[in-house]
Structure 1
Amino acid sequence: MCKYAPKDSFNKEDVTIAYFSMEIGLTSKMTNYSGGLGILAGDTIKACADLNIPMVAVTLLNKDGYFKQVIDKDGNQIEEADPWEPHGYTTLCPEIVSIWIQDREVKVRAFKREVKGVGGYTLPVYFLDTDFDHNEEWCQSLTKHLYGGDESYRLAQEIILGIGGFRMLQALGYTVINKYHLNEGHASFLILELLSKTALETEFGWQYKSELVKKMCVFTTHTPVAAGHDRFSFDKVKSFMGAYYPYHMVEAAVADGNLNVTKMALMYSGYVNGVAKKHGEVSRDMFGDSEIDHITNGVHSVTWTSKPFKKVFDKYIPGWREDPFTLRSAWGIPSDEVWDAHLEAKRKLIEIINEKTNENFEENVFTIGFARRFTQYKRPMFIFKNEAALRNIISRSGKIQIVFAGKAHPKDFEGKGILKEVIEKVKDPNLKIKVAFLENYNMELAGYLTSGVDIWLNNPQRPMEASGTSGMKAAHNGIPSLSILDGWWIEGHIEGVTGWAIGEENYRCSGETAEQRELDDFYKKLGMIVRFYYKDRKSWVKVMKNAITINASFFNTHRMVHQYVLNAYFKAGNVVEKPSDSETPKA
């Protein structure tokens, strides 16, 4: 896989791409991320560093983190602060910029962390912060809590990210950026800053200025549900940001008095994509007047491959770290070495489960993993819908044990209730199945889970899974998926080869009828899979090798970044022709 420049590092004058994301997850120790969006952002940056992409990234510091999850004796999720100390992982930059919120000055500084790629190239990530003495007390907290507070708090955070981030890059000397990649709509106020900047720098009319901004912006949407896109009172936006901005240019993104930041990003991005083929279709249906492509997500192969499998890959596929596509050769790895690597990873997970719980999991028992955000559409209780069917599987096919992990959003009370139901199953003596819940799901725990279970379970309501990436991480460790055909699994699924599907891709029924059909198929498949696992180890390992060979080699961020490079970052035709004076009015 080629790299895009021979340099080990770039001068600021060389950097042409800026990546904006509300959260960027680089390591478990830096708790400034909540889940999939941030982890994907971190994996993207790592791949860009591996490939020598001339990029800089911007996010918020989120000094108090998302939250630390504690489960009380009654099974309730308790949220505690989960602070991290930036001085241990980043370097404070001397530059300070100003933005204005509600006619009050807010000063923004930045902490820098360099992400080193496999070839030695380092990519800078800047974490924006307002928590210092130059600011009044009211605004010092604005970069402390990820997704915290009310609408006003969120609006202020998004202004800091989009406008403060742009101004910080200017102050730091990144002067030739020609692509701004907005990872979700949180950074969309950057567009208003770019419109204002072009208004000052060119005499041509707004049509030309808007086309100029559109050529600068790339937008990735991750949300397949209309209600999930941020909306703010347009009057409040104007009150917060002041009279400086050309609000008339974004009025088409306003409905019922609310500015939809996703629609604003769609209007002013020359390239827009969903994060899986199906999600692209769903997004085009949701925003019918927008051109939306798709680039299916991936995961950073070196980050999510367990130590036992790294040893095996290094031995048999020595170039896989630089080029994960070479994992196509995994089929040639001796099956006993694949199985031994899996058992080593599984022992580590079982050790962690038994240290943290009293469930006494066993290494030789078929282990199902389910770890993700606890919310209604992801259906964490799906497997328990028919306990008699589960017990029948045990008696006919063999023993199973199930491990869960995941957080519910602090304001998702339905999700918290579902989490409590799962905890009740952990304690249920009548279930006759060992069930464990590992609290405070984070990157480190995700690594152990996606490498140590025997099968990865995913059962969201279709079509609400934009992509999903945990199954991709599992595939890097030879773990097949048992999943609803939604998100990435529509593309990664080959029945009985890379894993198994729950139900069909397209039903003519919906609601309870569709769920019952999925449940019937799920229990039938699970019984077959458990029996297969215990009775035919040789063929089971072939499925494990297929997961690596077919899915890990493709569903990685190296391939994903290549697609962004070809389709969005460096695509030809990005020059906007200047109109003549007779063709366009002056601003």
Structure 2
Amino acid sequence: MSNGGVAYFSAEFGLDESLPIYSGGLGILAGDHIKAAADMNVPLTGVGIFYGNGYFQQRIDEGGSQQHLYPTINPEVSSYPVRLVRDAEGRPLVVDVMIGGRQVYAKAWSVQVGSVTLYLLNADVESNSDADRRLTDTLYPSEQDVRISQEMILGIGGARLLAALGIRPDVWHMNEGHPAFLTLERIRMLSAEGVPFETAREAVKASTVFTTHTPVPAGHDVFSIDMVDRYFGDYYWQLGTDREQVLSLGRAGDAFNMTRLAVSMSSKVNGVSKLHGEVTRELFHRWMPHIPRQDIPVESVTNGIHIGTWLSAGMKELFDRHLPSDWAVRTAEPNVWAAVRDIPHFELWEAHQRAKSEMVRELGLPIASSGGGPLIVGFARRFATYKRALLIFRDLERLAHILGDPQRPVCLVFAGKAHPADDPGQELIRRLVELSREDRFKGSVHIIENYAMDKAKKLVQGVDVWLNTPVKPMEASGTSGQKAAINGVLNCSVLDGWWAEGYNGRNGWAIEGATDGDLEYQSQQDSEALYRLLEEEIIPLFYMRDDRAVPTEWVNLMKESICSIAPVFNTHRMVSDYWHKLYVPTSIRGNRFAADNFEVASRVAAYKKFIRDNWSGVSVRKADILADRSSRIGLNKTAFRAEIGLGAIWHKDVRVEAVGSDGRRGIWKAKLEPVQQLAKGLYVYEGASPDVSINIWKSNVNVRVTPISPDFTTDFEMELAAWGITE
């Protein structure tokens, strides 16, 4: 990779609680990503927004209602060294973005994280109108007009800022769809240099990576076409094409979808866990219904955490004594963590008890901690309904019995915010407050106000069990459980997100309720499974002590949890995966497409245009499973024969294959080769099944034609396929 490195764009960055420009998991992940890049000397530059008021501070009133406070963030007094970015003459560097027919200006601040610089744009500039100065005040505003304006400042302004600074990235990484307008700005820049739209589009696509974190359609930013016209209308002609071409890049149904734009303009797309990769393919299948979900080109890089940020001081001191001296820079090596098994049980338990006592003290919890008790279960995350904060309260009488046992007391600690526009999420908080005040739960159910990074650290370091109860598969990855695990806290979670990969049967507990049925049935089954785990496994194990009052078997689980989770679910491994799987291939591809005055990009653009213009002439005229199980190509295997009309397209520019279901949610493919030309553009293709054991059913088999090129990243880059039905 050349000196340009990676430009990493995100709407939020969680570096530290003193810089509250994050709301939750996406921002914390982005902060951990750039910290790990700095640790590993990965050439990366971050781009985001400096929010004048940040994400709201939460107060819960007497009635249990969430109040939203927006104190001004002063970059001059942040404990993070935030500096105003200046030009060569020492003046504040200002970029401008045309938004809805008016010029909006933004200045930039910079934060240094080791070798990585994070640039943050802010519209509070004197030359802006009063309304425009407020555009970057709050993170994730509810007003669509402000939201699209912010995303234009982030994507377009961010790209212009890097250009003004002379930074020419090899790879542009979009963390979620919020910054996706950067792809259009990069096309505009190339268009201004005389590069045709289609060529510019291929050059931009070749050097762009997109990470999606949201497994539900409602989680993706969608703007009406009218709104895009209103705000983006001034840009259409500047991209060297017409309005319809620009809109087609992000059009999904009758709206403009930022995730669709990001997918259209990226050569690599990834989800944030293996399961999320599958869910994302299912989600994107709506946009590409003619491509089986198994073939939708989405990779997965499972999220991790920055261990140096989330590890308690006591645990770090313990690891410093027992692990290899350079363990902190070798966190992705399993053998480094093997030494945890040799830490005396008493020492590991004592370190956890100190973290637990500190949490109780620092968070002001009215919990008398003695002899390692009570068992504290933590639940801290965004209060979105699918995360099911109240699942554990489904049977109030049973829960009261579990928590209220004087011999084996249990406490629940909750923390989290609901988005100001999320009324159902706020109702969850109100109901939780109401429950905590009932006599049977007083002293056992506690709520921490204003959840942020400082409080998150204390919770993941100090509770005994980390509870996670989302509706599967709606948790894309989740990382809070990973933060808990490195501190010896045991996970009890639905097998969703990262836990589906991390759970090994010996390092925590899986809530294995229902995987299908309606939401009510799933909740009933999941809550029953959770109660059973608490009653029969978790609580008895926690209170089973040796002669030194140490729960030996519990500590064995803590050791297994650390050894199995720490080396895999950390950001050093994660960034290494991004580097090898996404950044390096994309850098090579992007530079190749841009070389020699965009020779490859131009060729690919012309090829795709030719294919698109002539694809209507491609058809599967006839497709048969050969009854005698023989053909010129294969004997004793199921054979296929198809007549394929290609029109003006050359037969070497397509792949023809029989495709069928394997009966296990997967598909098999059998490549067919041309064996005869019947007429101009009309061919006979034959081939055999890849496996004699496959049970071929006509209803399961089809023949597909797709355009291919050695310059494509995947065989489905053009999102085109022609199908026929076997007879």
Letter in 2 for 1:540: W
Residue range with higher mean Cα deviation, 343-352 or 427-436: 427-436
Note the residue ranges of structure 2 that are not aligned, 5 or more in a row.
87-92, 289-295, 546-550, 594-599, 611-727
**Cα contact 1:361–1:401 (8 A) shared by 2:** no
2:273 counterpart of 1:264: no
Q: Following TM superposition, by how much is the alpha carbon of 1:65 offset from its aligned partner in structure 2, in angstroms? A: 1.1
Cα distance in 2 between the residues matched to 1:84 and 1:573: 41
Cα distance in 2 between the residues matched to 1:188 and 1:23: 14
Cα distance in 2 between the residues matched to 1:392 and 1:578: 67
Cα distance in 2 between the residues matched to 1:177 and 1:254: 27
Deviations 1:13-39 (A, max 9, x none): 823210000011111011111111111
Note the residue ranges of structure 1 that are not aligned, 5 or more in a row.
5-12, 117-121
Match of 1:444 in 2: 454
Deviations 1:199-221 (A, max 9, x none): 23354x54433221111111000
Match of 1:38 in 2: 27
2:412 counterpart of 1:390: no
2:174 counterpart of 1:182: yes
Secondary structure at the residue paired with 1:19? strand
2:584 counterpart of 1:570: yes
**Cα contact 1:397–1:530 (8 A) shared by 2:** no
Match of 2:107 in 1: 109
TM-score, structure 2 normalization = 0.75
**Cα contact 2:203–2:601 (8 A) shared by 1:** no
Letter in 2 for 1:552: A
Pairs within 5 Å for 1:216-365 = 216-245=207-236, 246=239, 247=243, 248-288=245-285, 289=288, 290-317=296-323, 318-325=325-332, 326-353=336-363, 355=364, 358=366, 364-365=373-374
Match among 36, 55, 58 for residue 66 of structure 1: 55
Letter in 2 for 1:390: L
Match among 509, 512, 522 for residue 520 of structure 2: 512
Q: Following TM superposition, by how much is the alpha carbon of 1:182 offset from its aligned partner in structure 2, in angstroms? A: 0.3
Cα distance in 2 between the residues matched to 1:255 and 1:24: 28
Cα distance in 1 between the residues matched to 2:603 and 2:479: 48
Match of 1:9 in 2: none
Secondary structure at the residue paired with 2:119? strand
Deviations 1:349-373 (A, max 9, x none): 11134x3x55656652100000001
TM-score, structure 1 normalization = 0.92
Secondary structure at the residue paired with 1:58? strand
Residue range with higher mean Cα deviation, 176-185 or 315-324: 315-324
Q: Following TM superposition, by how much is the alpha carbon of 1:53 offset from its aligned partner in structure 2, in angstroms? A: 0.6
Letter in 2 for 1:393: I
Cα distance in 2 between the residues matched to 1:580 and 1:181: 25
Q: Following TM superposition, by how much is the alpha carbon of 1:561 offset from its aligned partner in structure 2, in angstroms? A: 0.3
Q: Following TM superposition, by how much is the alpha carbon of 1:583 offset from its aligned partner in structure 2, in angstroms? A: 5.3
2:544 counterpart of 1:535: yes
Residues 583, 268 of structure 1: CA spacing in aligned structure 2 closer, same or farther, 3 A cutoff? Answer: closer
Q: Following TM superposition, by how much is the alpha carbon of 1:234 offset from its aligned partner in structure 2, in angstroms? A: 2.1
Match among 17, 26, 37 for residue 28 of structure 1: 17
Match among 515, 519, 524 for residue 532 of structure 2: 524
Cα distance in 2 between the residues matched to 1:168 and 1:253: 24
Q: Following TM superposition, by how much is the alpha carbon of 1:462 offset from its aligned partner in structure 2, in angstroms? A: 1.0
Letter in 2 for 1:209: A
Q: Following TM superposition, by how much is the alpha carbon of 1:74 offset from its aligned partner in structure 2, in angstroms? A: 1.2
Secondary structure at the residue paired with 2:543? helix
Structure number with greater CO (CA < 8 Å, separation at least 6) is: 1
Cα distance in 1 between the residues matched to 2:605 and 2:465: 66
Deviations 1:151-200 (A, max 9, x none): 000000000000000001111121x3121100000001001111222323
**Cα contact 1:66–1:146 (8 A) shared by 2:** yes
**Cα contact 1:17–1:569 (8 A) shared by 2:** yes
Match of 1:554 in 2: 568
Cα distance in 1 between the residues matched to 2:440 and 2:376: 19
Match among 192, 195, 199 for residue 200 of structure 1: 192
Cα distance in 2 between the residues matched to 1:582 and 1:554: 40
Secondary structure at the residue paired with 2:327? coil
2:466 counterpart of 1:456: yes
Cα distance in 1 between the residues matched to 2:256 and 2:302: 28
Match of 1:8 in 2: none
Cα distance in 2 between the residues matched to 1:582 and 1:180: 20
**Cα contact 2:5–2:44 (8 A) shared by 1:** yes
**Cα contact 1:478–1:545 (8 A) shared by 2:** yes
**Cα contact 2:507–2:558 (8 A) shared by 1:** yes
**Cα contact 2:198–2:605 (8 A) shared by 1:** no
Cα distance in 1 between the residues matched to 2:121 and 2:470: 34
Q: Following TM superposition, by how much is the alpha carbon of 1:333 offset from its aligned partner in structure 2, in angstroms? A: 2.2
2:431 counterpart of 1:421: yes
Residues 428, 371 of structure 1: CA spacing in aligned structure 2 closer, same or farther, 3 A cutoff? Answer: same
The alignment of Structure 1 onto Structure 2 pairs a total of residues equal to 564
Deviations 1:320-355 (A, max 9, x none): 2212123343223222221111011000011134x3
Cα distance in 1 between the residues matched to 2:427 and 2:487: 32
**Cα contact 1:230–1:260 (8 A) shared by 2:** yes
Letter in 1 for 2:110: K
**Cα contact 2:378–2:465 (8 A) shared by 1:** yes
Residues 381, 171 of structure 1: CA spacing in aligned structure 2 closer, same or farther, 3 A cutoff? Answer: same
Cα distance in 2 between the residues matched to 1:104 and 1:507: 51
Residues 580, 57 of structure 1: CA spacing in aligned structure 2 closer, same or farther, 3 A cutoff? Answer: closer
Match among 363, 370, 391 for residue 379 of structure 2: 370
Match of 2:488 in 1: 478
Secondary structure at the residue paired with 2:303? coil
Cα distance in 1 between the residues matched to 2:602 and 2:28: 43
Cα distance in 2 between the residues matched to 1:107 and 1:234: 25
2:155 counterpart of 1:162: yes
2:476 counterpart of 1:466: yes
Cα distance in 1 between the residues matched to 2:531 and 2:442: 16
Cα distance in 1 between the residues matched to 2:562 and 2:407: 26
Match among 105, 122, 133 for residue 140 of structure 1: 133
Letter in 2 for 1:110: A
Letter in 1 for 2:17: S
Q: Give the CA RMSD over aligned residues.
A: 2.1
Deviations 1:194-251 (A, max 9, x none): 1222323354x54433221111111000110012111112232232123333441441
**Cα contact 1:482–1:499 (8 A) shared by 2:** yes
Match of 1:215 in 2: 206
Letter in 2 for 1:320: W
Secondary structure at the residue paired with 1:87? coil
**Cα contact 1:31–1:83 (8 A) shared by 2:** no
Residues 583, 364 of structure 1: CA spacing in aligned structure 2 closer, same or farther, 3 A cutoff? Answer: closer
